[in-house]
Structure 1
Amino acid sequence: MTLDLQAVGRSAGPDTVSWTSFDALLYALGVGAGQDDSAQELEFTTENTEGVPQQVLPTYAIVLAQRAPGLKVDIGDVDRTKVVHAGQGLIMHRPLPVEGKASLTNTVTGIYDKGSGALVRTSAEAVDLETGEKIFTTEGAIFIRGAGGFGGPQDPAAGWSVPEGEPDQVVSAATRSDQALLYRLSGDRNPLHSDPAFAARGGFTAPILHGLCTFGVSARVVLRAIGVAADQLASIDGRFSKPVLPGERLTVSVWSDGKTHLFRTTNSSGETVLDRGVLTTR
Protein backbone atom coordinates (compact mmCIF):
# COMPACT_ATOMS: atom_id res chain seq x y z
CA MET A 1 0.00 0.00 0.00
CA THR A 2 1.55 3.30 -1.12
CA LEU A 3 -0.11 6.63 -0.41
CA ASP A 4 0.97 9.27 -2.92
CA LEU A 5 2.08 12.18 -0.75
CA GLN A 6 2.30 14.36 -3.86
CA ALA A 7 -1.48 14.19 -4.31
CA VAL A 8 -2.10 17.40 -2.35
CA GLY A 9 -3.58 19.92 -4.76
CA ARG A 10 -4.57 17.24 -7.26
CA SER A 11 -8.12 17.56 -8.60
CA ALA A 12 -10.75 15.52 -10.40
CA GLY A 13 -13.66 16.78 -12.45
CA PRO A 14 -15.52 18.75 -13.35
CA ASP A 15 -18.37 16.26 -13.40
CA THR A 16 -22.11 16.86 -13.57
CA VAL A 17 -24.79 15.63 -11.22
CA SER A 18 -28.55 16.23 -11.31
CA TRP A 19 -31.37 15.63 -8.85
CA THR A 20 -35.15 15.78 -8.72
CA SER A 21 -37.87 16.42 -6.18
CA PHE A 22 -38.24 12.65 -5.79
CA ASP A 23 -34.53 12.27 -4.95
CA ALA A 24 -34.81 14.89 -2.21
CA LEU A 25 -37.90 13.21 -0.72
CA LEU A 26 -36.21 9.80 -0.71
CA TYR A 27 -33.14 11.21 1.03
CA ALA A 28 -35.28 12.87 3.71
CA LEU A 29 -36.97 9.55 4.50
CA GLY A 30 -33.55 7.89 4.50
CA VAL A 31 -32.37 10.14 7.35
CA GLY A 32 -35.57 9.63 9.34
CA ALA A 33 -37.68 12.68 8.50
CA GLY A 34 -41.24 12.15 9.72
CA GLN A 35 -40.31 8.91 11.46
CA ASP A 36 -41.29 9.91 14.99
CA ASP A 37 -44.35 11.81 13.77
CA SER A 38 -45.48 11.57 10.15
CA ALA A 39 -47.34 14.88 10.45
CA GLN A 40 -44.08 16.68 11.21
CA GLU A 41 -41.35 17.67 8.74
CA LEU A 42 -43.77 17.57 5.80
CA GLU A 43 -41.63 20.20 4.08
CA PHE A 44 -39.02 17.46 3.59
CA THR A 45 -41.24 14.41 3.05
CA THR A 46 -43.99 15.74 0.75
CA GLU A 47 -44.25 17.95 -2.32
CA ASN A 48 -48.00 18.59 -2.31
CA THR A 49 -49.01 19.56 1.22
CA GLU A 50 -51.20 22.65 1.25
CA GLY A 51 -49.30 25.69 2.49
CA VAL A 52 -46.04 23.71 2.92
CA PRO A 53 -43.63 24.13 -0.01
CA GLN A 54 -41.06 21.38 -0.37
CA GLN A 55 -37.57 22.00 0.98
CA VAL A 56 -34.38 19.98 0.68
CA LEU A 57 -32.37 18.92 3.71
CA PRO A 58 -29.03 20.64 3.11
CA THR A 59 -26.97 17.52 3.96
CA TYR A 60 -28.31 15.99 0.74
CA ALA A 61 -25.58 18.05 -0.93
CA ILE A 62 -23.00 15.56 0.41
CA VAL A 63 -24.83 12.71 -1.33
CA LEU A 64 -24.74 14.67 -4.60
CA ALA A 65 -20.96 15.02 -4.31
CA GLN A 66 -20.72 11.26 -3.77
CA ARG A 67 -22.92 10.52 -6.77
CA ALA A 68 -20.68 12.29 -9.28
CA PRO A 69 -18.56 9.38 -10.62
CA GLY A 70 -15.79 11.54 -12.04
CA LEU A 71 -14.67 13.06 -8.72
CA LYS A 72 -12.38 10.27 -7.55
CA VAL A 73 -8.89 11.74 -7.10
CA ASP A 74 -5.87 9.46 -7.49
CA ILE A 75 -4.10 9.32 -4.11
CA GLY A 76 -1.99 6.25 -4.84
CA ASP A 77 -2.28 2.52 -4.36
CA VAL A 78 -4.42 2.49 -1.20
CA ASP A 79 -5.96 -0.64 0.33
CA ARG A 80 -9.64 0.36 0.56
CA THR A 81 -10.22 -2.11 3.42
CA LYS A 82 -7.98 0.14 5.51
CA VAL A 83 -9.97 3.30 4.76
CA VAL A 84 -12.39 4.77 7.33
CA HIS A 85 -14.61 7.83 6.84
CA ALA A 86 -13.23 10.04 9.60
CA GLY A 87 -15.15 13.28 9.28
CA GLN A 88 -17.44 15.38 7.14
CA GLY A 89 -18.13 19.03 6.62
CA LEU A 90 -20.51 21.07 4.48
CA ILE A 91 -20.69 24.76 3.61
CA MET A 92 -23.92 25.99 2.00
CA HIS A 93 -23.36 29.07 -0.14
CA ARG A 94 -27.07 29.20 -0.93
CA PRO A 95 -30.03 26.88 -0.30
CA LEU A 96 -30.16 23.69 -2.35
CA PRO A 97 -33.06 23.87 -4.85
CA VAL A 98 -35.65 21.10 -4.97
CA GLU A 99 -34.28 20.01 -8.33
CA GLY A 100 -31.32 21.06 -10.42
CA LYS A 101 -27.98 20.31 -12.04
CA ALA A 102 -24.54 21.15 -10.75
CA SER A 103 -20.94 20.91 -11.92
CA LEU A 104 -18.51 19.62 -9.28
CA THR A 105 -14.74 19.55 -8.87
CA ASN A 106 -12.94 17.64 -6.11
CA THR A 107 -9.48 18.52 -4.74
CA VAL A 108 -7.12 16.94 -2.21
CA THR A 109 -6.46 19.71 0.30
CA GLY A 110 -4.11 17.96 2.73
CA ILE A 111 -2.41 14.72 3.77
CA TYR A 112 -1.47 14.51 7.45
CA ASP A 113 0.62 12.09 9.49
CA LYS A 114 -1.35 10.62 12.40
CA GLY A 115 1.26 8.03 13.36
CA SER A 116 -0.91 4.91 13.11
CA GLY A 117 -2.34 6.14 9.84
CA ALA A 118 -2.74 9.04 7.44
CA LEU A 119 -5.57 11.56 7.29
CA VAL A 120 -6.51 12.73 3.80
CA ARG A 121 -8.72 15.79 3.44
CA THR A 122 -10.63 16.67 0.28
CA SER A 123 -12.92 19.49 -0.79
CA ALA A 124 -15.59 19.30 -3.49
CA GLU A 125 -17.15 22.47 -4.88
CA ALA A 126 -20.48 22.57 -6.70
CA VAL A 127 -21.72 25.36 -8.97
CA ASP A 128 -25.11 25.70 -10.61
CA LEU A 129 -24.81 24.42 -14.17
CA GLU A 130 -27.08 27.16 -15.55
CA THR A 131 -26.06 30.24 -13.57
CA GLY A 132 -22.50 29.40 -12.52
CA GLU A 133 -23.36 30.35 -8.93
CA LYS A 134 -21.56 28.46 -6.20
CA ILE A 135 -24.06 26.23 -4.35
CA PHE A 136 -22.09 24.25 -1.78
CA THR A 137 -18.69 22.96 -0.73
CA THR A 138 -18.22 19.57 0.93
CA GLU A 139 -15.17 18.83 3.04
CA GLY A 140 -14.40 15.17 3.63
CA ALA A 141 -11.74 13.37 5.66
CA ILE A 142 -10.66 9.75 5.41
CA PHE A 143 -8.28 7.90 7.73
CA ILE A 144 -6.05 5.27 6.14
CA ARG A 145 -4.85 2.75 8.73
CA GLY A 146 -1.19 1.81 8.48
CA ALA A 147 -0.29 4.70 6.15
CA GLY A 148 1.23 6.99 8.80
CA GLY A 149 4.74 7.43 10.08
CA PHE A 150 6.02 9.28 7.01
CA GLY A 151 7.03 12.40 8.92
CA GLY A 152 4.36 14.58 7.39
CA PRO A 153 2.57 17.60 8.87
CA GLN A 154 0.01 17.43 11.66
CA ASP A 155 -3.65 18.08 10.96
CA PRO A 156 -4.31 21.80 11.63
CA ALA A 157 -8.02 21.27 12.30
CA ALA A 158 -9.33 23.34 15.18
CA GLY A 159 -9.89 21.68 18.53
CA TRP A 160 -13.28 20.98 20.05
CA SER A 161 -14.30 20.39 23.63
CA VAL A 162 -17.61 19.79 25.35
CA PRO A 163 -18.92 23.13 26.61
CA GLU A 164 -19.33 23.66 30.33
CA GLY A 165 -22.81 23.20 31.70
CA GLU A 166 -25.76 21.15 30.57
CA PRO A 167 -26.84 21.12 26.91
CA ASP A 168 -29.43 23.65 25.86
CA GLN A 169 -31.30 20.91 23.99
CA VAL A 170 -31.28 17.10 24.24
CA VAL A 171 -33.31 15.46 21.48
CA SER A 172 -33.89 11.78 20.75
CA ALA A 173 -34.41 10.33 17.27
CA ALA A 174 -35.29 6.80 16.21
CA THR A 175 -33.63 4.80 13.47
CA ARG A 176 -35.45 1.91 11.84
CA SER A 177 -34.12 -1.63 11.62
CA ASP A 178 -34.18 -1.17 7.84
CA GLN A 179 -32.77 2.39 7.92
CA ALA A 180 -29.60 1.47 6.03
CA LEU A 181 -31.62 -0.32 3.35
CA LEU A 182 -33.68 2.83 2.85
CA TYR A 183 -30.74 5.24 2.97
CA ARG A 184 -28.70 3.25 0.43
CA LEU A 185 -31.32 4.04 -2.23
CA SER A 186 -29.93 7.58 -2.31
CA GLY A 187 -26.73 6.23 -3.83
CA ASP A 188 -24.34 4.55 -1.37
CA ARG A 189 -24.63 0.83 -2.20
CA ASN A 190 -21.65 -0.31 -0.09
CA PRO A 191 -22.56 -3.88 1.00
CA LEU A 192 -21.17 -3.13 4.46
CA HIS A 193 -24.57 -1.56 5.11
CA SER A 194 -26.75 -4.32 3.67
CA ASP A 195 -24.95 -7.68 3.35
CA PRO A 196 -24.56 -9.60 6.66
CA ALA A 197 -21.75 -11.78 5.29
CA PHE A 198 -19.80 -8.76 4.02
CA ALA A 199 -20.28 -6.96 7.36
CA ALA A 200 -19.06 -10.05 9.23
CA ARG A 201 -15.83 -10.03 7.18
CA GLY A 202 -15.32 -6.47 8.38
CA GLY A 203 -15.70 -7.56 12.00
CA PHE A 204 -19.29 -6.40 12.54
CA THR A 205 -22.11 -8.48 13.99
CA ALA A 206 -24.54 -7.01 11.44
CA PRO A 207 -24.60 -4.42 8.65
CA ILE A 208 -23.98 -0.96 10.08
CA LEU A 209 -25.68 2.33 9.36
CA HIS A 210 -23.97 4.67 6.92
CA GLY A 211 -21.99 7.32 8.78
CA LEU A 212 -23.52 9.95 6.53
CA CYS A 213 -26.97 8.72 7.52
CA THR A 214 -26.10 9.38 11.16
CA PHE A 215 -24.72 12.76 10.02
CA GLY A 216 -27.97 13.58 8.19
CA VAL A 217 -30.14 12.50 11.14
CA SER A 218 -28.07 14.66 13.48
CA ALA A 219 -28.28 17.73 11.23
CA ARG A 220 -32.04 17.33 10.85
CA VAL A 221 -32.51 16.95 14.61
CA VAL A 222 -30.34 19.96 15.47
CA LEU A 223 -32.18 22.21 12.99
CA ARG A 224 -35.51 21.20 14.45
CA ALA A 225 -34.29 21.57 18.04
CA ILE A 226 -33.07 25.13 17.52
CA GLY A 227 -36.12 26.08 15.44
CA VAL A 228 -34.21 27.07 12.31
CA ALA A 229 -35.39 26.41 8.75
CA ALA A 230 -33.22 24.24 6.54
CA ASP A 231 -32.40 27.09 4.18
CA GLN A 232 -30.79 28.96 7.08
CA LEU A 233 -28.02 26.39 7.56
CA ALA A 234 -24.65 27.95 6.74
CA SER A 235 -22.29 25.09 7.63
CA ILE A 236 -22.02 21.83 9.53
CA ASP A 237 -19.05 19.71 10.50
CA GLY A 238 -18.50 16.58 12.60
CA ARG A 239 -16.23 13.61 13.25
CA PHE A 240 -17.32 9.97 13.16
CA SER A 241 -16.28 8.07 16.27
CA LYS A 242 -18.30 4.82 16.41
CA PRO A 243 -20.57 2.85 14.04
CA VAL A 244 -24.33 2.79 14.57
CA LEU A 245 -26.48 -0.29 14.14
CA PRO A 246 -29.83 0.26 12.40
CA GLY A 247 -32.64 0.30 14.95
CA GLU A 248 -30.64 2.13 17.60
CA ARG A 249 -32.09 5.29 19.05
CA LEU A 250 -29.84 8.32 18.73
CA THR A 251 -29.64 11.21 21.19
CA VAL A 252 -28.31 14.58 20.09
CA SER A 253 -27.10 17.08 22.70
CA VAL A 254 -26.88 20.71 21.56
CA TRP A 255 -25.09 23.70 23.08
CA SER A 256 -26.11 26.95 21.41
CA ASP A 257 -24.34 30.31 21.37
CA GLY A 258 -25.98 32.71 18.97
CA LYS A 259 -25.68 31.32 15.47
CA THR A 260 -23.18 28.62 16.46
CA HIS A 261 -24.47 25.31 17.77
CA LEU A 262 -22.13 22.62 19.07
CA PHE A 263 -23.51 19.10 19.18
CA ARG A 264 -22.67 15.50 19.99
CA THR A 265 -24.64 12.38 19.04
CA THR A 266 -24.75 9.24 21.19
CA ASN A 267 -26.26 5.78 20.65
CA SER A 268 -28.67 3.75 22.76
CA SER A 269 -25.84 2.81 25.14
CA GLY A 270 -24.73 6.41 25.63
CA GLU A 271 -21.59 6.00 23.52
CA THR A 272 -20.56 8.89 21.29
CA VAL A 273 -21.04 8.08 17.59
CA LEU A 274 -20.67 11.58 16.09
CA ASP A 275 -18.33 13.95 17.86
CA ARG A 276 -17.11 17.54 17.58
CA GLY A 277 -20.27 18.66 15.83
CA VAL A 278 -20.55 22.31 14.84
CA LEU A 279 -23.56 23.74 13.00
CA THR A 280 -23.78 27.42 12.06
CA THR A 281 -26.79 29.34 10.80
CA ARG A 282 -27.23 32.53 8.78
Structure 2
Amino acid sequence: MPIDVAKATSAEPRTTELAWDHKDVQLYHLGIGAGAATPQKPHPATDPDELRYTLESALHVLPSFATVAGGGMAVAGGLSAPGIDVDLAAVLHGGQSVTVHRPLPVRGRARQTSSVPAVYDKGKAAVIVLRSEVADEEGPLWTCDTQIFVRGEGDFGGERGASARLELPERAPDLSTERHIREDQALLYRLSGDWNPLHADPEFAKLAGFDRPILHGLCTYGVALKAVVDTLLDGDVARVRSYATRFAGVVFPGETLHIRAWREPGRIQASVTAPERDDAAVLADTVVEHS
Protein backbone atom coordinates (compact mmCIF):
# COMPACT_ATOMS: atom_id res chain seq x y z
CA MET A 1 0.00 0.00 0.00
CA PRO A 2 1.42 3.44 -0.91
CA ILE A 3 0.44 4.72 2.54
CA ASP A 4 2.47 3.26 5.41
CA VAL A 5 0.26 4.36 8.30
CA ALA A 6 2.69 3.53 11.09
CA LYS A 7 5.56 5.29 9.36
CA ALA A 8 3.45 8.37 8.49
CA THR A 9 2.01 8.89 11.97
CA SER A 10 5.27 8.20 13.86
CA ALA A 11 7.53 10.36 11.70
CA GLU A 12 9.23 13.36 13.25
CA PRO A 13 7.38 16.63 12.58
CA ARG A 14 8.73 18.55 9.61
CA THR A 15 9.47 22.26 9.71
CA THR A 16 9.16 24.79 6.91
CA GLU A 17 9.87 28.49 6.84
CA LEU A 18 6.95 30.59 5.56
CA ALA A 19 6.96 34.16 4.32
CA TRP A 20 4.28 36.36 2.80
CA ASP A 21 3.52 40.02 2.18
CA HIS A 22 0.64 42.22 1.10
CA LYS A 23 0.80 41.02 -2.53
CA ASP A 24 0.18 37.41 -1.45
CA VAL A 25 -2.76 38.49 0.68
CA GLN A 26 -4.25 40.62 -2.10
CA LEU A 27 -3.82 37.82 -4.67
CA TYR A 28 -5.55 35.36 -2.35
CA HIS A 29 -8.44 37.73 -1.74
CA LEU A 30 -8.87 38.29 -5.48
CA GLY A 31 -8.77 34.52 -5.97
CA ILE A 32 -11.79 34.08 -3.70
CA GLY A 33 -13.78 36.86 -5.36
CA ALA A 34 -12.84 40.06 -3.56
CA GLY A 35 -13.72 43.05 -5.72
CA ALA A 36 -16.25 41.06 -7.76
CA ALA A 37 -19.79 42.33 -8.17
CA THR A 38 -22.55 40.87 -6.00
CA PRO A 39 -26.25 41.76 -5.76
CA GLN A 40 -25.38 43.91 -2.73
CA LYS A 41 -22.32 45.57 -4.33
CA PRO A 42 -22.86 46.60 -7.95
CA HIS A 43 -19.65 48.72 -7.99
CA PRO A 44 -17.22 46.60 -5.95
CA ALA A 45 -13.90 47.96 -7.20
CA THR A 46 -14.36 51.18 -5.23
CA ASP A 47 -16.54 49.86 -2.41
CA PRO A 48 -14.79 50.63 0.92
CA ASP A 49 -15.75 47.21 2.28
CA GLU A 50 -14.01 45.52 -0.66
CA LEU A 51 -10.96 47.77 -0.52
CA ARG A 52 -10.19 46.21 2.87
CA TYR A 53 -9.34 43.08 0.88
CA THR A 54 -7.68 44.62 -2.16
CA LEU A 55 -5.95 47.92 -1.27
CA GLU A 56 -2.61 47.65 0.55
CA SER A 57 -3.15 50.79 2.60
CA ALA A 58 -6.42 49.44 4.04
CA LEU A 59 -5.65 45.72 4.04
CA HIS A 60 -6.79 43.18 6.58
CA VAL A 61 -6.37 39.41 6.30
CA LEU A 62 -9.19 36.89 6.06
CA PRO A 63 -8.26 33.96 8.36
CA SER A 64 -8.65 31.40 5.56
CA PHE A 65 -5.49 32.93 4.05
CA ALA A 66 -3.71 30.59 6.49
CA THR A 67 -4.36 27.75 4.04
CA VAL A 68 -2.15 29.36 1.37
CA ALA A 69 0.34 31.46 3.36
CA GLY A 70 3.83 30.72 2.11
CA GLY A 71 2.47 29.07 -1.02
CA GLY A 72 0.20 26.46 0.54
CA MET A 73 3.06 24.33 1.81
CA ALA A 74 0.97 22.35 4.32
CA VAL A 75 -0.77 20.13 1.78
CA ALA A 76 2.23 19.84 -0.54
CA GLY A 77 4.51 18.91 2.34
CA GLY A 78 2.00 16.46 3.79
CA LEU A 79 1.62 14.49 0.58
CA SER A 80 5.38 14.01 0.44
CA ALA A 81 5.67 13.05 4.12
CA PRO A 82 7.39 9.79 5.11
CA GLY A 83 5.14 6.80 4.48
CA ILE A 84 2.90 8.61 1.97
CA ASP A 85 3.14 8.09 -1.79
CA VAL A 86 -0.17 8.70 -3.56
CA ASP A 87 -1.43 9.47 -7.06
CA LEU A 88 -2.62 13.08 -7.35
CA ALA A 89 -5.41 11.91 -9.67
CA ALA A 90 -6.87 9.94 -6.74
CA VAL A 91 -6.68 12.84 -4.27
CA LEU A 92 -9.57 15.06 -3.17
CA HIS A 93 -9.80 17.52 -0.31
CA GLY A 94 -12.10 16.00 2.31
CA GLY A 95 -12.21 18.66 5.01
CA GLN A 96 -10.45 21.70 6.42
CA SER A 97 -10.24 23.56 9.69
CA VAL A 98 -8.30 26.67 10.68
CA THR A 99 -7.94 27.84 14.28
CA VAL A 100 -6.62 31.40 14.59
CA HIS A 101 -4.60 32.23 17.71
CA ARG A 102 -4.40 35.95 16.88
CA PRO A 103 -5.15 38.12 13.83
CA LEU A 104 -2.99 37.27 10.81
CA PRO A 105 -0.47 39.97 9.89
CA VAL A 106 -0.36 41.47 6.40
CA ARG A 107 3.35 40.66 6.22
CA GLY A 108 5.01 37.84 8.07
CA ARG A 109 7.77 35.31 8.48
CA ALA A 110 6.94 32.19 10.46
CA ARG A 111 7.84 28.56 11.01
CA GLN A 112 5.39 25.81 10.16
CA THR A 113 5.57 22.47 11.96
CA SER A 114 3.73 19.69 10.10
CA SER A 115 2.73 16.18 11.11
CA VAL A 116 0.31 13.38 10.20
CA PRO A 117 -1.67 12.69 13.39
CA ALA A 118 -3.96 10.09 11.79
CA VAL A 119 -4.81 8.06 8.68
CA TYR A 120 -8.37 6.75 8.61
CA ASP A 121 -9.77 3.77 6.73
CA LYS A 122 -13.01 4.66 4.94
CA GLY A 123 -13.27 1.38 3.03
CA LYS A 124 -12.86 2.47 -0.58
CA ALA A 125 -10.59 5.34 0.43
CA ALA A 126 -8.09 6.51 3.00
CA VAL A 127 -8.29 9.87 4.74
CA ILE A 128 -4.95 11.43 5.65
CA VAL A 129 -5.07 14.08 8.38
CA LEU A 130 -2.35 16.71 7.99
CA ARG A 131 -1.74 19.12 10.85
CA SER A 132 0.29 22.30 10.53
CA GLU A 133 1.05 24.60 13.44
CA VAL A 134 2.46 28.01 12.58
CA ALA A 135 4.21 30.46 14.87
CA ASP A 136 6.35 33.56 14.51
CA GLU A 137 8.64 35.37 16.95
CA GLU A 138 5.63 36.59 18.91
CA GLY A 139 4.13 33.11 19.37
CA PRO A 140 1.46 30.87 17.79
CA LEU A 141 -0.42 32.24 14.78
CA TRP A 142 -2.69 29.45 13.57
CA THR A 143 -3.29 25.69 13.45
CA CYS A 144 -4.64 23.96 10.34
CA ASP A 145 -6.06 20.45 10.07
CA THR A 146 -6.43 19.22 6.50
CA GLN A 147 -8.21 16.00 5.58
CA ILE A 148 -7.07 14.48 2.28
CA PHE A 149 -9.34 11.84 0.72
CA VAL A 150 -7.37 9.29 -1.35
CA ARG A 151 -9.52 7.00 -3.47
CA GLY A 152 -8.53 3.34 -3.70
CA GLU A 153 -6.27 3.41 -0.63
CA GLY A 154 -8.70 2.25 2.06
CA ASP A 155 -9.68 -1.19 3.36
CA PHE A 156 -6.42 -1.66 5.25
CA GLY A 157 -8.00 -2.49 8.59
CA GLY A 158 -7.51 0.88 10.25
CA GLU A 159 -9.83 3.07 12.32
CA ARG A 160 -12.68 4.73 10.42
CA GLY A 161 -12.54 7.98 12.37
CA ALA A 162 -15.47 10.21 13.29
CA SER A 163 -18.40 10.43 10.88
CA ALA A 164 -20.95 12.55 12.77
CA ARG A 165 -22.85 15.06 10.65
CA LEU A 166 -24.32 18.42 11.70
CA GLU A 167 -28.02 18.91 11.14
CA LEU A 168 -29.02 22.28 9.72
CA PRO A 169 -31.30 24.42 11.92
CA GLU A 170 -34.99 24.02 11.18
CA ARG A 171 -35.62 27.73 10.63
CA ALA A 172 -35.01 30.33 8.00
CA PRO A 173 -31.32 31.22 7.61
CA ASP A 174 -30.00 34.56 8.82
CA LEU A 175 -28.04 34.79 5.59
CA SER A 176 -29.04 33.56 2.13
CA THR A 177 -26.88 34.87 -0.68
CA GLU A 178 -25.29 33.81 -3.95
CA ARG A 179 -21.77 34.21 -5.26
CA HIS A 180 -20.94 33.68 -8.93
CA ILE A 181 -17.75 31.75 -9.70
CA ARG A 182 -15.96 33.14 -12.74
CA GLU A 183 -14.86 30.85 -15.55
CA ASP A 184 -11.24 31.73 -14.79
CA GLN A 185 -11.58 31.58 -10.98
CA ALA A 186 -9.55 28.37 -10.58
CA LEU A 187 -6.80 29.72 -12.83
CA LEU A 188 -6.54 32.81 -10.63
CA TYR A 189 -6.82 30.98 -7.32
CA ARG A 190 -4.09 28.45 -8.16
CA LEU A 191 -1.56 31.32 -8.33
CA SER A 192 -1.68 31.29 -4.52
CA GLY A 193 0.15 27.96 -4.55
CA ASP A 194 -2.13 24.98 -5.29
CA TRP A 195 -0.77 23.76 -8.63
CA ASN A 196 -2.75 20.50 -8.80
CA PRO A 197 -3.56 20.17 -12.54
CA LEU A 198 -7.02 18.90 -11.59
CA HIS A 199 -8.03 22.56 -11.45
CA ALA A 200 -6.63 23.64 -14.82
CA ASP A 201 -5.86 20.75 -17.19
CA PRO A 202 -8.90 19.16 -18.91
CA GLU A 203 -7.02 15.95 -19.72
CA PHE A 204 -5.87 15.51 -16.13
CA ALA A 205 -9.41 16.22 -14.89
CA LYS A 206 -10.70 13.39 -17.10
CA LEU A 207 -8.13 11.01 -15.60
CA ALA A 208 -9.53 11.97 -12.19
CA GLY A 209 -13.10 11.23 -13.34
CA PHE A 210 -14.36 14.74 -14.13
CA ASP A 211 -15.61 16.12 -17.45
CA ARG A 212 -13.62 19.31 -16.92
CA PRO A 213 -11.42 20.98 -14.29
CA ILE A 214 -13.04 21.66 -10.94
CA LEU A 215 -12.66 24.59 -8.56
CA HIS A 216 -10.33 24.20 -5.60
CA GLY A 217 -12.28 23.26 -2.49
CA LEU A 218 -10.26 25.82 -0.57
CA CYS A 219 -11.41 28.52 -2.98
CA THR A 220 -15.04 27.72 -2.13
CA TYR A 221 -13.97 27.63 1.53
CA GLY A 222 -12.63 31.18 1.26
CA VAL A 223 -15.62 32.50 -0.71
CA ALA A 224 -18.00 31.21 1.96
CA LEU A 225 -16.02 32.65 4.87
CA LYS A 226 -15.81 36.06 3.22
CA ALA A 227 -19.58 36.09 2.71
CA VAL A 228 -20.19 35.19 6.36
CA VAL A 229 -17.69 37.75 7.70
CA ASP A 230 -18.98 40.53 5.45
CA THR A 231 -22.64 40.00 6.28
CA LEU A 232 -22.87 38.49 9.78
CA LEU A 233 -19.65 39.63 11.50
CA ASP A 234 -19.68 43.29 10.48
CA GLY A 235 -16.75 42.74 8.11
CA ASP A 236 -14.43 42.21 11.10
CA VAL A 237 -11.98 39.40 10.26
CA ALA A 238 -10.49 39.57 13.77
CA ARG A 239 -13.72 38.16 15.23
CA VAL A 240 -13.13 34.75 13.62
CA ARG A 241 -11.68 32.21 16.06
CA SER A 242 -11.96 29.05 13.96
CA TYR A 243 -13.50 27.86 10.71
CA ALA A 244 -14.18 24.24 9.77
CA THR A 245 -15.93 22.50 6.91
CA ARG A 246 -16.42 19.20 5.11
CA PHE A 247 -16.12 19.23 1.32
CA ALA A 248 -19.32 17.48 0.29
CA GLY A 249 -19.19 18.03 -3.48
CA VAL A 250 -17.40 19.76 -6.32
CA VAL A 251 -17.87 23.14 -7.95
CA PHE A 252 -17.20 23.86 -11.61
CA PRO A 253 -15.95 27.29 -12.70
CA GLY A 254 -18.84 29.31 -14.09
CA GLU A 255 -21.34 28.00 -11.53
CA THR A 256 -23.02 29.84 -8.67
CA LEU A 257 -22.66 29.18 -4.95
CA HIS A 258 -25.73 29.46 -2.73
CA ILE A 259 -24.54 30.29 0.79
CA ARG A 260 -26.90 29.97 3.74
CA ALA A 261 -25.92 30.66 7.35
CA TRP A 262 -27.54 30.60 10.78
CA ARG A 263 -26.46 32.58 13.84
CA GLU A 264 -25.98 30.62 17.06
CA PRO A 265 -24.38 31.71 20.36
CA GLY A 266 -20.68 32.19 19.66
CA ARG A 267 -20.81 30.56 16.27
CA ILE A 268 -22.34 30.55 12.80
CA GLN A 269 -23.37 27.37 11.04
CA ALA A 270 -23.39 27.43 7.24
CA SER A 271 -24.01 25.36 4.15
CA VAL A 272 -23.07 25.89 0.51
CA THR A 273 -24.82 24.35 -2.48
CA ALA A 274 -24.74 24.56 -6.28
CA PRO A 275 -28.17 25.81 -7.46
CA GLU A 276 -27.48 24.93 -11.13
CA ARG A 277 -27.31 21.26 -10.07
CA ASP A 278 -30.47 21.06 -7.97
CA ASP A 279 -28.71 22.58 -4.97
CA ALA A 280 -26.15 19.80 -4.80
CA ALA A 281 -24.18 19.96 -1.55
CA VAL A 282 -20.77 21.63 -1.80
CA LEU A 283 -19.77 22.53 1.79
CA ALA A 284 -21.38 20.78 4.76
CA ASP A 285 -20.80 20.61 8.53
CA THR A 286 -19.52 24.17 8.26
CA VAL A 287 -18.98 26.20 11.43
CA VAL A 288 -17.41 29.61 12.08
CA GLU A 289 -16.64 30.18 15.77
CA HIS A 290 -16.30 33.85 16.67
CA SER A 291 -16.02 36.42 19.42
Choose the corresponding residue for 1:202, options 189, 208, 221: 208
Q: Describe how 1:47-66 pairs up with structure 2 within 5 A.
A: 47-48=56-57, 53-64=58-69, 66=72
Q: Which whole-Å CA distance do the structure 2 matches of 1:184 and 1:221 have between them?
A: 20
Moved more, 78-87 or 25-34: 78-87
The aligned residue for residue 3 of structure 2 is 3
- What whole-Å deviation, never above 9, does each CA across 1:235-266 have from its counterpart, x for those lacking one? 00001111111121111110111221111101
Q: Cα–Cα, structure 1 residues 184 and 255, in superposed 2: closer, same or farther, change >3 Å?
A: same
Q: Cα–Cα, structure 1 residues 2 and 207, in superposed 2: closer, same or farther, change >3 Å?
A: closer
Report the secondary structure of 2:63's partner residue.
Answer: coil
The aligned residue for residue 15 of structure 2 is 14
Q: Which whole-Å CA distance do the structure 1 matches of 2:12 and 2:69 have between them?
A: 17
Q: Cα–Cα, structure 1 residues 275 and 26, in superposed 2: closer, same or farther, change >3 Å?
A: same
Note if 1:80 corresponds to 2:101.
no
Q: Could you state the TM-score of these two structures normalised by the residue count of structure 2?
A: 0.89
Report how far residue 158 of structure 1 moved.
4.8
- What whole-Å deviation, never above 9, does each CA across 1:199-236 have from its counterpart, x for those lacking one? 23323222211111011101111111213411111000
Name whichever structure is richer in helix by fraction.
2
Q: Which whole-Å CA distance do the structure 2 matches of 1:2 and 1:207 have between them?
A: 26
Moved more, 141-150 or 237-246: 141-150
Number of residue pairs aligned between Structure 1 and Structure 2: 276
Report the secondary structure of 1:166's partner residue.
Answer: coil
Choose the corresponding residue for 2:228, options 208, 222, 226: 222
Structure 2, unmatched stretches of 5+, are none
Give the superposed CA RMSD.
1.8
- What whole-Å deviation, never above 9, does each CA across 1:172-212 have from its counterpart, x for those lacking one? 11211111111111111222211222223323222211111
Give the aligned residue type for 2:147.
A
Q: Is the 8 A contact 1:12 1:70 kept in 2?
A: no
Report how far residue 159 of structure 1 moved.
3.4
Structure 1, unmatched stretches of 5+, are none
Q: Is the 8 A contact 2:89 2:204 kept in 1?
A: no
Q: After TM superposition, what 4+ stretches of structure 1 lie above 6 angstroms from structure 2?
A: none
The aligned residue for residue 254 of structure 2 is 247
The aligned residue for residue 170 of structure 2 is 164
- What whole-Å deviation, never above 9, does each CA across 1:79-123 have from its counterpart, x for those lacking one? 332222101110000110000111001111112221222222121
Give the percent of matched residue pairs that are identical in Structure 1 and Structure 2.
Answer: 39
Choose the corresponding residue for 1:153, options 151, 159, 164: 159
Q: Is the 8 A contact 1:171 1:252 kept in 2?
A: yes
Q: Could you state the TM-score of these two structures normalised by the residue count of structure 1?
A: 0.92
